[in-house]
Structure 1
Amino acid sequence: MGEFLVEGKIIKFYREKAQMTQKELVQGICSITHLSKIERGITEYSKEMITLLSERLQIDITEEVRKYHLLSGKLDEWQNALISQQTEDTARLKKEIEDEPLRELPDFHASYNLILSRYHLFMNLPEKAFETIQIIQGKESQLSSYERNYLKHIMGIYYFLTGQFKDCINILTSIDHTGYHHNEYYYHLALAHHSTHSNIASYYYAEKALAYFRKTLNVLRIIDTETMMLVQLNSRELHDFDDTKKKYDSLIKMCDTCQAYDRKSKLLNNLAFECYRRKRFDDARKLYERALQLVDEDNPFYTMFLDGYINNAIKGKLLNNTELTDLAKKGLRLAQKHNGMPPFYFQLHLYAIQEEEEKFYRLIEEEALPYFRKTGYIVLIDHYEKKLFHYLVKINETTKALQLAQIIIESHKSHYDGMN
């Protein structure tokens, strides 16, 4: 961008900030018409003139131009820190950028708010992110092609964090990849497909994301993506356990090297689940306990790890009912307090432990299934629909059972539907 144009924008910005009219600023220096052209960057001017205007505004124009270009670079740096998930750097850059008055220039409005909303999502503050997103959407017609695609990416992350996985997939797949170079969005597509148990699609997009993270030497996101691919490898059928454990151990060592203990906790949780699926309940318990020790109770992942720990303890008969009840009550309290797993997960545990069958199935019908259908949790939809169907048959609720059977049949269309 030409320095004339930058200087003109800075003059206009500080004039308006000082609540000065063009007439007040130009008195004894130049004409209002000439200042208007300077502010729009459509005319050349002498160094002496810009110095006089700057002195009247009590700014150093050379320093302000330097800050302008520095701010542009810092916004890029902030964006890259968010992609790399460097928590300390993202917080530091946010403060530095917000301390810079030039941030309020129209040039930076869209990019600043886009990255700010991404920052809020990174900090797991979807409500704050959505407030900023609405500001951007109010001026969407003014966005560049890149910015419109970036907005879609941010909306996709927002939908994912709020459990709207189908909306997440729809908006992320509408991104024009020819005009958007942050292929990180493939990772979020993989996450959303994983959450709807579309494992082949999840693996496909994870491979694309992995290529991007390797190209950009983003070690933490390489760990994330290889974890995702390992989960998909075991999704439909159990992969060789020794090979699975070897790969998890390798990723856990990478986390230790990077001091990425949050990621290590998730890997321990995933490996615990693989042990649970193979009925290695004692091994699973130890891994869940290690995972729980690495996260604070106010961390949203704590309730997810605790849910797995309770499931494993029930199936493996590792704890008595009193111990299980205490854990389920703790999980319910934490889930109600923090944005982790929905509280009904732990309420279901309590009803199951206390053998309150009617309350258990009523909660499945009224809360669990509507939630899973909304978010697209296909495996859990199948699991709980079948459990509810058998219960309805058992208590002779024939009409309800038939209605549910119809829903189950319609949701499992044959691959031959539509063929002659």
Structure 2
Amino acid sequence: MNEQDLRRLMTVSVEDVLPSQPAAAGWDRARRRRRTRRVVGVVAVAVALVGGGTVVALRPPGPPPNHSVAPTPTVVPTHAEPVQRPPAELTFPPDPLARLGGPATVPLSERPVQRALALFQPTDEENRADGPVRVLGNDGVVRSLDVVTLTPTRDASGNEAPAVKPGVLSPDGKSAAFAQPGELIMVDLTTAAVRRIPLFGYLEMVVWANDRVLVGAEDRTYAVDRVTGAASTIDVSIWVVAAPDPEAGREAALIELIGERDGLKLRSRTAREATIRSEERITGGGLPAPYQINEFYGRGWLHGGRLASAAWITSGEIDGAEGAAVLDARTGAVAHLLDLGRERSKGCCEVLGWDNKGAVLLRMEPAALARWNPETGEITGIIRDLRGVIAVAG
């Protein structure tokens, strides 16, 4: 028997002997089984991964999984009809301008404003000034304009009107300019300082045109530098020129609304020399028949590429109804028309400007002051039944 046969014989004989510590041997066998299972599990996972990788590698590429968050739906603004009408009853949500309805509590000389939101001149039933001019500051306090005594404007025929008119308050709300017979009065509302600039003639209307103030009457218009006070005549009508957009800059064109009915035109002039640049026929092709604009009245107001003005219109009920229009300031196309109906006094509803959200501010009996959003058609009241003349900042 060689050494190899002897080793094999010893191994067989040992396997037949039962262990002397059964529990320890059982735990040892259990550990070996657990190790075996772990090894088998690892091998199975590895095989699965390799197989899966092979399948992925062989599968044609597809779109990556989408783990993005669902997008928020876009709210598309509602565009109102070209012709709109006010509701039967206006709502009056809280508004800073509503404070104009209250009396002044302090003189401007004692407490100048940081910025004025609006001016208000109370009037009586004959449209004559009836009490001091109110100055509403951005702090909500109503002041009385006590630093100057204003006289009514008048023309050569003796017709009078209050000195406060739409357009007298600067767009930044820091100054006011008043046409007076033979002079222009400028008031710095932040210091209560008054400056008088002598000018010839019966002056009636004022409009702020960036770095200048345009002031005049039927026969002439002056352009007054708001810093130096230097004045020169300018070939533009103070009655039909629109108030420029304060964001447009000093070289923005001056726009006039001229003519009647089929002869209505939008005339563009250069800002400094007032040279005519173009004339566009005002068209209402987007309005349903028989709507059309007969004539504009009051001050027009520019806001970006849009121009708003009060107008007399032809509606489905009457020729000569009260209305307000928004035009494209470049082409003269009428974009929106507000039909205010026939049950209103003539010239009731002058446009006073735009707010910073693109809504038109206008007089509207019996609301006195209302806000119209031509893009949505929403109309809300601001001040209820306030008799007088209001000028708002741009």
TM-score w.r.t. structure 1 length?
0.24
Which of the pair is proportionally richer in strand?
A: 2
Larger radius of gyration: 2
Which of the pair is proportionally richer in helix?
A: 1
Query: Higher relative contact order by CA 8 Å / sep ≥ 6: 1 or 2?
Result: 2
TM-score w.r.t. structure 2 length?
0.25
